[in-house]
Structure 1
Amino acid sequence: MKNKKKQPVTLRLLLYIIFSICVLIPVVCFMIVIPSFFRREMNTQLLDDVESKLVSVSNELVNTILSLQQISILPYSDKEIFELLNDKGNNSIINLSEKVLFFDYMKLLYNDITSLIILGENGNIYYYHRNQNNSVKKDYDFSRYKINEQNESYYLGAHYSDYFEKTNPKVFSYVKEVIHPYEKDLLCTVIIDSESSIFNRAFASMNMNKNTTSILLDSNNNVIYSSQNIEDNILESLRAGRNELLIDRNENKIVYRKIPIGNWTIAIIVSMESIENRIKVIYLVCIVASLITILFSFAVLRYISIKYMLKPLSEMGHVMAEVEKGNLNVHFNYKSRDEISLLGIKLNQMINELQTLIDKEYKLVISQKKAEYRALQSRIKPHFLYNSLNCIVGLNRLGDTSRLETAILDLTDMMRYSLSNENNSGWSTISDEVNFIKQYIHLEKLRFEDKLQFKLDYNYKTQNYKIPKLLIQPLVENAIVHNVEKSLVPIPVIVKIDLINKVNDCYLQIIVEDKGSGFDTSINGGGIGLSNVRERLKYGYIGSEMKVDSIIEVGTRIEILIPIKEVCNENINS
């Protein structure tokens, strides 16, 4: 199997490859890297922002816890309450809200506190509620709020205050035991209920979006506060300490921070959806910018490459093609001084040098051909003159003065024609050549009379075509000398001049035919006359032909074919 020839890599294709390497690939990389870089930076910035905000939230929560702890020392700070706790109890439920000063004090300083319950060791229950019409349920079992031996206080996450007659929304509770300052025994247990708004204020300072969830976990990883409802799987992830979480197929990051008081943990679930939406916008902007860059760069490359590279090179190729055809009058037109234009200048210099060299060699060859042609022409004249004088000598011996005079006049005209050298060209029209042949035949008929039978078939459309002078006469002379002169019977000599079509081209056809003795062309090429005509044709025309067909005792036929375009060229040149 033959190997397929590799297609050449065009300059246009090479430029497109360079464009792909230098522009297309970097732009595509830019389109991929930039959004990824922004995603990483935005994620880092967001998490750093959350971390910094968590510091302030942590401090706010510490202040909140301290304020609750401050309320828990009311049995010490409020003399009236301390005295009530030291009195003997009778399992009564006493509403502290009835004490106007205490009610105003609580409402003014602790607006987020919904209720306060003091479980005295004397059996009495003292309570405060922001709603003065609400009261503690009788016979409610508060034993579950008792503190174990390991803790002095604890926090109770969001729950309903079902120990009041009118149940409020979920509250957050702080439970603490108060020790008697003097007797070192348990004085009471304080239950402080607060609205979740106490945490809302702390987390609101973060200014996070609606997709962010804030969660507060106690030391046992129980939820104390949550800005949104959380599912069990999310809670499990928080308890496991995971940093990433998928919610509804959206990526979420979890940021943790410990609170020193109470050993609580703040967990912020940050949704990456907003960042992904911004990244999509960045991707879109990068794609549009990349496409604009690619199209603009391609348009600029195409314009520059066509105007300054491909078009000049194409013009150079056209100039070279014309030079290859022989047209040396074309030149490359350059408009700048870049490398390609310098190449075009060198091409023009090469064409000029080639033109000079061709002119020099052409003129040398032409002058040489003219010299050889004139030498051939000069060989014809003595040969023709010798034969004509033989005819006149013969007439003189016969004493035929009348025909002798006619022969001398014909010879004079013939000598004038053969010796004339108009414009030093050596060319003559077919019309003049035919007249010369007629005069020559007339001279020969004076000698051979009826033994010479001459016929001329002449197409007058060819009369202005130029051919070498004395091209046909040597052929007619050969036919007479080698056939008529030796024959005892009449010999026909036929000259035919016409135009013929052959192989999609037009030719000037000249035929000289005789019905004489003929000759063997393989032994005798026809003598000096035929070789002379053949050489002159070769020098005079490109593509001309001369065929000699001769059969012994039948006759000889000589055919000359000259392309019309060559005849026309000679007409122009002459």
Structure 2
Amino acid sequence: MNLSIKLKIILSTFLVVAMSLSASSFFIYNYVTGIIKEQSIEENTIKLNQVTQQLTKMQEQVKKTTAYIILDEKLNKLTNQNFQDDYDLSFYAIYETELELRRYVAFSDNIIDIILLRDDGMLFSSNRTFESYYQEKIKESWFTDYIDRGYNAGFSGVHDIFVNSTRTEQVISYITSFKNTEIDSAHKFTLILNVNRANIENIFEKSVSDFENLILLNRDNQIIASSYASEEFSNMDIVEKSMDKSKSYVEDRENIAISNILGYDGWKQIAVIAKDKLLGKINWIFVYFIVIVAASLLLALLIMIPTILNITKPISKLVAAMKKVSRGNLDTSLTIQSRDELEIMGKVFNRMVSDLNEYMTTSINDEKVKRRMQLDLLISQINPHFIYNTLNTIIYLTRANRNQDVIVITDSFIRILQDTIKTGEEAIFATVAEELAIIQNYLTIQNYRYPDMFDVEFLVNEDVLNMQIPRMVIQPIVENALFHGIHPAEHRGNLKIEIKLHSDYISVAITDNGIGMDGTTMNQIFKGSKKLSTNHQTRSIGLNNIKERLAALYGPNEYNINIVSHVGQGTKVEFSFYPKAI
């Protein structure tokens, strides 16, 4: 019984539908997991809010202490005095200020010490013995970076500070600037309250069992405190994602993160919860569903594999054959015996490849003939440019009985004609030495036509002489330089021919000191414009002939031609291309 591919696909689809039970099992699992996860996240959010309230309360206490200090009349009078050189008055003010500031430290559980910095550099603190130490401390980055950012008030990053001669503590400084406008000639002050970071860590320790990590960031996203032992949490990506307040939480493969913004100074609190801990209660459900799905998949595969192979094997053969064809192998054929539409497709493919092979062979042969005819036609356009004038010169010399000159010019003319009737590969390419010989013969003829009118300079690297280049690409440019540049000029002409070998290409430059041309004419010649005068159109035909030949031999983007010309100064034509190896 021959089954169509349509029927085979229908039967396979019917078997796939039978697996919907597995899909429904996964749906139930995901649904239950989602409910439990949402409940757990809600519980952890409540716990995070409790931590946030404690931290906010600490911030409020620090801000209230700051307000009390700023409004303290006694402190304002003591610190705004003009001490000048009065040592006793200065000592008294510093001592009384220290007592006042210590009183504020004693009333707060969070503040270690207080520093009051006057705008003239004078420093007051709650620990007078450390004033010189504080003077150096405020030069560190925790203070200078904060000032540079231009904040009016707020908390700095974490830094160390000595609390006595042998012990240091990590602190977070609350910094604010103020000036008492009720006092004449009042100074501007910077108030620094050093908050004990250990108090924040104590709050975190009470919640360490609830979260994988608890992180507190300041407004610059610097870590203030973390329940992580190293204070370096590896998965900072999820911390950044948790800042998106449009979502109640964010998650990745391993963790879930929830966040809160504290009430002051842009502090952000982030709680990271490990998924394996959060969903540990329902892992056994996942294992149960995995067993059901695995059994269903195994049964379905046992049923579907034979049918799938019957369909995919011919298709795989067809794909492999198509890849061979795409790589240029047109001798490819395949055999499919599936007794359905795939077998018909294989036969059509073989017929298509056979027709394509025949078409490509014909096209290649036609293109070779076309290319040969095109090159022959382009080369043939060059010869009539100087044949007529050369014959006239020979007639003139003959009438003048200059027989030796007739022999020389005729020999040069014959050598040029011999070069034009070459066939095969020699009709397309020639060595640099052969091209230079043609130019020498051509210039010999022109010297008889225009005696003492020009000088020629050859600058040719010896290592290019045996390189093969397109034949007759230099002579038309030399001809243009003589007839359209040097000949119309009133002074003796100089013609320079340079041929250089670069890393992987050859450059040819023909320079004359003739009459030159303006930019408009130069662009029209380069583009082969029909608006040119008859004189300039002759020059354009020679240049376009070379451009078309180089494009036919190398491709439109594998050569370069450039013209530089100035009126009264001359013209330089330079072109480059890849040499053909001998």
In the superposition, the TM-score normalised over structure 1's length comes to 0.42
CA radius of gyration, larger in: 1
